[in-house]
Amino acid sequence: MVTRIKSKPEDGAQGGRSLIEQKFERLGLLVPQDFVLHLPLRYEDETAIVPIGHLRGGMSAQIEGEVIEAEVKFSPRRQLTATIRDDSGELALRWLTFYPSQQQQMKPGRRWRIRGEVRSGYLGLEIIHPKVTVPSSPLPAALTPVYPTTDGLSQPSLRKAIALAIAQTSLEDTLPQALIQKLSLMPFDEAIRTLHSPTPEMDAEALMEHTHPAWLRIKFDELLAQQLSLAAARDARRAKRSRSLPLNSSSESLCNRLLRALPFTLTASQSNVVREISADLARDFPMYRLLQGDVGSGKTIVAAMAALQAIEAGVQVAIMAPTEILAQQHYQKMQSWCEPLDIGICWLTGSITPRARKRALEDISSGQARLIIGTQALIQDTVEFENLGLVIVDEQHRFGVGQRLSLSRKGEPGAGVSLHDMKVPDWVPHQLTMSATPIPRTLAMTFYADLEVSSIEGLPPGRTPVLTKLVSNTRREEIISHIAQSAVNGQQTYWVCPLVEESEALELQTAVDTHQALSAALPELRIGLVHGRLSNADKSAVMQDFRAGLIQVLVATTVIEVGVDVPNASLMVIEHAERFGLAQLHQLRGRVGRGSASSVCVLMFQNPLSLIARQRLRAMYETQDGFEIAQRDLDLRGPGEMLGSKQSGITLLRFADLAQDSALVRAARETATELRQHAPEIVQRHLARWMRGREDFLRS
């Protein structure tokens, strides 16, 4: 039975809920179990009084003493200052903003207990915005937990509600004793009580750093619940039915005809991935496979092989890309491969003419178009497929979950699909997603655990390593001279800027201004400009001229981040590289090194650099391995930003840290497999504790 934590109704209560209950709900605290798992952000040690004479800068401490002076100063800004004294010395207190009540508190002669972080100020040690309490209250016997909260909800209110919830809720272990002993885990009830009410003798640093055995137990349980939930999602997907699309192994099959026509041979890694995808397509449940490979590793030919297998088996294939530039490049490449094989191929984006759009929609709905390539225009309501059997989504992290699912649902019954040859009512298309941003292993084992993952290792023959140079923007003239020399040698250059319009706050050189400056500095060269505010037709025209060699230098924003393939471009200059994310920098660097000429990527930065910016640039300088860069990006940014969920407010993991807890991730994954096979009742019990209200996100 689920009960709520109740409070007395207050003025302004809505629907029978008190104001405090409404605040609890804002934190997702609805039933006692939610409160039990609402764990502290940090702890404060209020168990002892530290003499002022023992204080040092940087320490958090609690003192007790008498106010000897206080005043409001107006230099350099209005602020309240006070001095407090005990038998061992004096300490300055300061409030940069304050209320009249705080000014009243600091009357000389009054005695207070003060807590805060001690710092070295101009006139000695001080505490800014200290916590002030009366000295008569007894010192607590344990570390004081500090919880995540919301406006108007005090820490004492939270502590009281959590204590009540612990008294009401069963803390019985969901895991068997044998497993707890095998993994050397702390019992669940002991871990919960430790984290909410640690005793003074406990290792405060381990509690703060989340390395205490109590934290390890909670993090393991959370990771285990996630693994179990993702496995259940994978099973639910496999319960759906898809049309089996077996490979035609004859020598005259579409796949074999394409392989013979290619001017290159697939690498061993590419061939292995092709076999994995081919086996998935032959099954009668939907493929959900992630194809990852470094920039330029050859994912497009792998996707083409999958598309040909599906088309030859009798279904349509849709390829969706995040930008029109990338979609157009896919179309041109696929057209060169597929038209000699007499395969109807169709192009659909938001910028095509109404007449071309009408023709494309007719070809798609009639089935005359077997391979359809486009942007988000593919998921519009007016697009009806005759028989969609395979969906390929490129740069999948750039689409929202809803966009990816919308294209897949175009192949489900009731979505305008002809059902004349379908035998199963819940027939859904196979799905292949591609990413040139490799997924770190710990991320793949957690948030992508419900997908099959294929990785293309290494680069195809002919791809040359890119030399990366870190250059201060004070050396701009040297770089421009090098561009001029490269042009004389027949090579082309990208110059990437982060913004299109002027922003004084960020002090960034804009793409428009850079184009003008380079045109003036290099009058003998043709300088192109492409950015997101150009019309699609203008962008396409500029890119076509650059591919044709009519433009020697292309000034661009990050619209050229993915997919652009110009083998003759051998120099990449990234202006204000410190402003870009690590994954973006790696993607941009991947635009060069696609031909036989040696290539250089110049990361031009402006001092001073932040610590994070230094780490990013160092990573780019030290390695070209996309998997290594992805791991460093995870360490720097965390999974929320890498998966695009930070902006949406979704908390992916509340307690576990993928950079710190990779061993726990592996243990949780192995345990989940074992429990699902041998103890389904334990699985249900564990999920009931941890996954209330979070299943929908994990299954999306």
Same fold flag, 48-133 and 316-428: no
Q: Is the domain defined by 466-623 classed in CATH 3.40.50.300?
A: yes
The tens digit of pLDDT for each residue in 521-557 reads 999 999 999 887 788 778 888 988 998 999 999 998 8
Bond from prior residue into 76 cis (ω within 30 degrees of 0): yes
The tens digit of pLDDT for each residue in 252-261 reads 999 999 999 9
Can you give the three-state secondary structure of 315-346, one letter per residue? CEEEEECCCHHHHHHHHHHHHHHHHHHCCCEE
Percent of the chain with pLDDT over 70: 85
pLDDT of residue 152: 83
CA–CA separation, 204 and 596 (whole Å): 58
pLDDT of residue 312: 96
The tens digit of pLDDT for each residue in 299-341 reads 899 999 999 999 999 999 999 888 787 888 889 889 999 989 9
216-220, 292-296, 634-638: which range is least confident on average?
634-638
Domain segments of the chain: what residues? Answer: 1-42+148-203, 48-133, 316-428, 466-623
pLDDT of residue 400: 43
All residues at 6 or more sequence positions from 525 whose CB lies less than 8 Å from its CB, including other chains: 483, 484, 487, 552, 553
Alpha-carbon Rg for the chain in angstroms: 31
Beta sheet of 388-393, edge-to-edge order: 345-348, 371-374, 316-320, 388-393, 430-435, 288-293, 452-456
CA–CA separation, 224 and 685 (whole Å): 12
The H-or-E segment that residue 676 falls in is: helix 662-678
Bond from prior residue into 608 cis (ω within 30 degrees of 0): yes
Query: For tokens 């938001």, what's the residue?
Result: 350
Long-range CB pairs of 662-669, under 8 A, 24+ apart, other chains included? 662/441, 662/442, 664/216, 664/219, 664/220, 664/223, 665/223, 665/442, 665/445, 665/446, 666/445, 667/183, 667/220, 668/220, 668/223, 668/224, 668/226, 668/227, 669/227, 669/445, 669/449
The tens digit of pLDDT for each residue in 99-126 reads 899 999 999 999 999 999 999 887 789 9
The tens digit of pLDDT for each residue in 4-56 reads 555 554 444 555 567 888 889 888 898 899 999 999 988 888 888 999 999 99
pLDDT of residue 612: 86
Q: Is the domain defined by 48-133 classed in CATH 2.40.50.140?
A: yes
All residues at 6 or more sequence positions from 339 whose CB lies less than 8 Å from its CB, including other chains: 345
pLDDT of residue 322: 80
Q: Which fold has domain 316-428?
A: Rossmann fold (3.40.50)
Please provide the average confidence, as pLDDT, over all residues in the chain: 84
CA–CA separation, 590 and 106 (whole Å): 61
CA atoms within 13 A on the CB side of 697: 15
How many helices (H) does the chain have, and how many strands (E)? Answer: 25, 21
Cβ count within 10 A of residue 368: 13
Mean pLDDT of 228-235: 85
Which among 261, 342, 337, 349 has a CA at the least distance from the CA of 306? 337
Cα 99 to Cα 78, 80, 102, 483: the distances in Å are 12, 9, 5, 60
